[in-house]
Amino acid sequence: MPGEKLHIIPHNYKVNRELRSENLNQKPKLIWFTGLSGSGKSTLANALETHLSNHGFNTYLLDGDNVRTGLNSDLDFSEESRVENIRRIGEVANLMLDAGLVVLSAFVSPFGADRELVKQKVGSDNYIEIYVSTSLEECERRDTKGLYAKARKGEISNFTGISSPFEAPTTPDMDINTESVSVEEAVAQIGTLLNEKLKL
């Protein structure tokens, strides 16, 4: 019942985000990769996390398929479930930021309103958006998981880019097209962007 929420009183603990951040010697940030399936989000996020880890940062990578095998295994791919999927990820990411971590997330996250809610949840200063703008034609040519072929046959409904829209970011912090930029080049570019944002 809505009234029951009146009895929820959050605790304030002595060890807070600022202290955890100081102990880890880094600024907690959420690096949000968005783009079509097959665009290269997970590949870039994985390579970037390796790069950051090698440089001493404490990180965690949240990936769409991995999260759907556990936390969000009860959700389907209806529009309502997609909205809830991203809402939950935003909450989890915010907890990880509170732990002082640099969080990387790789999700199609097709709706602009959902990405904006995540940004508001974690704070705009803590949110870095990377748009992996690889074209639908290239993503479908790659079809790394065989999903586009199934979507074209009608075996998958509400598939982003085919039967469900993708709302591209209008002002991302960085736009990466993996058709023209290698993984190594992309990581170098993102690393330059993050150079001062992650350091205390």
**Edge-to-edge strands of the sheet including 127-132?**
59-63, 102-106, 29-34, 127-132, 174-176
Among the listed residues 106, 33, 114, 115, the one whose alpha carbon sits nearest the alpha carbon of residue 80: 114
Between the two ends of the chain, the Cα-to-Cα distance in Å is 43
What is d(CA 158, CA 64) in angstroms, rounded to the nearest whole number? 16
Provide the 3-class DSSP secondary structure of residue 190.
helix
CA 134, distance to chain mean position in Å, is 16
Backbone angles phi, psi at 160, to 5 degrees: -60, 130
Two structure tokens written together for 19: 């202290």
Please pick, among 21, 39, 42, 109, the residue that the annotation labels catalytic. 109
The C-alpha angle 155, 159, 162, rounded to 5 degrees, equals 95
* Residue 180 a catalytic site member: no
Two structure tokens written together for 184: 């190594």
What is d(CA 102, CA 75) in angstroms, rounded to the nearest whole number? 26
Which residues participate in catalysis according to the annotation? 109
